[in-house]
Amino acid sequence: MRFYITTAIDYPNSRPHIGTAFEKIGADVQARFRRMEGLDVHFLMGNDENTIKVSQRAEELGVEPKPYVDDMARQFQEVWKALEVSNDDFIQTSEQRHYIGCQKFIQAVYDAGDIEKKAYQSLYCDGCEEFKTAKELVDGRCPNHPNRALREVEEENYFFRLSSFADRLLAHYDANPDFIQPESRRNEIVSLVKSGLQDVSISRKGFTWGIPVPFDPDQTIYVWFDALLNYVTAIGYGTDQERFESIWPADIHVIGKDITRFHCALWPAMLMSAGLPLPKRVFGHGFVYRKDESTGEIAKMSKSLGNAVEPMDLIRSFSAEAFRYYFMSQCPFGGDGEFSFERFADAYNSGLANNLGNLYSRTLSMAVRYFDGDLAGASAIDATAWRAGLDLSALVDELRSLMNTFQYNVAIQRIWAEVLDAANRYIQVTEPFKLVKTDVEATRAVLVNLAEAIRVISILIKPFLPSTAETFYSAFSFAEGAAWETVSYSDILKRPDIADLKVTAPLISGKPAPLFPKIETKAG
């Protein structure tokens, strides 16, 4: 069974910041989880290139738009690769496949009678690349770009008759209560549509960068009508109909809460007009806010406000795994999160250095020190003692439910509170560092149990911390029982049949390399 997941495509007028990365990691966790569940996942990301911002930025740098967007696409993909994002495709809207599909789609909507040409005068936000109505403004400014003055623009453009789709949209929301998630986003969109929809400008005149309107080459297809189409053009709409029909509709669009109205009202209306199926779900995640550690002030993180942090800065200093752990454990994906270096260090030290990494280091160190890494006879040992009192089967069911609903922070909390704590308590109770002095075979049993705990933990954290998870799994010879690539949640309760369990992790002077060296803070 296939599973098609997408993220919002990004403006490449500057490099991505950690608020953008929050979305990509959240989608990646979902894609990895679905692969573990046996689904044929297609994970799409990309860049939104046919915009005024792009042409302006290219002009500032003295280069043509196409070489500029190609280089920015390379830079974006470098960041996503460094963050271990496992997307299957990356679309640039300047590509030919998008050009062809975009023209086909707008022609279909025009032929359906849902596009008309008319004069328009309104306030325009260059940051959003969108016309604004009075009720959308806060103190006369765009709430998303309060530092930019709005421009009054008067043009004759093509408009999509969005206003005529209100009843059909509301009927779809009623028939598909899970279409918009979380519930707070659904309520916002239902209220928006009930309050009345305005027709949407979908073309601009006098621009050479972008895709021409096929029935009026003097006009260029406007950014939102163009950008949203990446979800269908990337999988063959207009270029490979068979492939398109085998993948569409999308199972989930993962997008920021500030663009839910485009994805939950404009986009489904466009698809209705073109006679195409609607996506199954749209999940609007929250924002990441940055706390100023000198003033204590908290503000939304964005490039336009100048308070953005580049992902690569954190990756170079602490690792992609630390980055992924912080944002998935500390920031509720359906709500808003907060970032500060102090909070990052606290979460890293308590969750990774002192807990996850310490369990790994202690277990391997004892196995090497006491048994030279060879736990022969493991298959005859009851390896469930470490989780006595823990209903692991029920926990796995709970985690599946949490993953399905994007409650990543809760899932991680449950893994740490139940499974890691069980393993650490087991060490405290059995005290293998004392037991080895009186009962070597009992100590062997304890370490086999801890090795099994590490195997279980590796599978549970696989969607969140893919590299660390693989390190955990390959620490002992579990791969002889099942290859890491194929290991899924269903394998958690299936212990591999390994008679001669042994340490297979690389060692430095007889010790495992520390996975998460502690961050030294001013407080010590």
Rounded distance, CA 278 to CA 183, Å? 19
Q: What is the pLDDT of residues 464-522, one digit of tens each?
A: 999 999 999 999 998 777 889 999 999 999 888 777 899 999 999 888 989 999 998 76
The domain spanning residue 371 has which CATH number?
1.10.730.10
Is the pLDDT assigned to residue 269 strictly greater than 60? Answer: yes
Alpha-carbon span 510 to 365, nearest angstrom: 8
The per-residue pLDDT for 308 is 61
Q: Could you tell me which of 337, 332, 340 has the C-alpha nearest to residue 309?
A: 340
Residue 133's alpha-carbon distances to 137, 227, 383, in angstroms, are: 7, 21, 64
Q: What is the pLDDT of residues 54-88, one digit of tens each?
A: 888 999 999 999 999 999 999 999 999 999 999 99
How confident is the model at residue 293, as a pLDDT? 55
Full strand arrangement of the beta sheet holding 180-181: 89-92, 40-47, 2-7, 252-256, 282-285, 180-181
For position 6, what pLDDT does the model report?
Answer: 98
Nearest Cα neighbor of 252 from 182, 349, 319 is: 182
Residue 30 lies in a domain: no
Residue 342's Cβ-side half-sphere holds a number of Cα atoms within 13 Å equal to: 9
Ranges 204-208, 255-259, 383-387: which has the least confidence: 204-208
Structural domain includes residue 123: no
Amino acid 290: pLDDT:
78
CA nearest 481: which of 499, 493, 497?
Answer: 497
From CA 435, how far away is CA 473, in angstroms rounded? 26
What is the predicted pLDDT for the residue at 154? Answer: 77
Whether the CB-CB separation of 339 and 301 falls below 8 Å is answered with yes
State whether residue 34 is helix, strand or coil.
helix
**Range 301-325 average pLDDT:** 76
Q: Residue 197 above 80 pLDDT?
A: yes
Query: At 405, is the secondary structure helix, strand, or coil?
Result: coil
Residue 503 included in any domain: yes
4 in a structural domain: no
For 442, the domain range is: 356-512
Q: Phi/psi zone of residue 307: left (φ > 0), alpha (ψ -120 to 50 degrees), beta?
A: alpha
* Strand-pair category, 216-221 with 212-213: antiparallel
CA–CA dist 416, 420 (Å, integer): 5
Q: Which residues pair with 406 in a beta bridge?
A: none
Give the per-residue pLDDT at 523: 54
More confident residue, 272 or 377: 272
4 vs 130 pLDDT, higher one: 4
Q: Is residue 227 part of a domain?
A: no
**pLDDT band, very low/low/confident/very high, at 300 (cuts 50, 70, 90):** low
In this prediction, residue 524 has a pLDDT band, given cuts at 50, 70 and 90, of very low
What are the counts of helices (DSSP H) followed by strands (DSSP E) for the chain? 21, 20
> Hey, CA dihedral for 311, 315, 318, 322, is it positive or negative?
positive
Token reading at 28: 């990646």
Kindly state whether residue 397 falls inside one of the protein's structural domains: yes
**What does the DSSP 8-state code read for residue 378?**
G
Please indicate whether residue 302 or residue 250 has the higher confidence score (pLDDT).
250
Has residue 173 been placed in a domain? Answer: no
Q: Are 123 and 151 in contact (CB under 8 A)?
A: yes
Taking residue 126's Cβ as centre, other Cβ atoms within 10 Å add up to 17
pLDDT at 522: 66
Phi-psi category of residue 275: left, alpha or beta, with phi > 0 → left and psi -120 to 50 → alpha: left
pTM: 0.92
Q: Is residue 267's pLDDT more than 90?
A: yes
**More confident: 120 or 186:** 186
Whether residue 103 is contained in a domain is answered as no
Q: Are 2 and 250 in contact (CB under 8 A)?
A: no
Domain count, the chain: 1
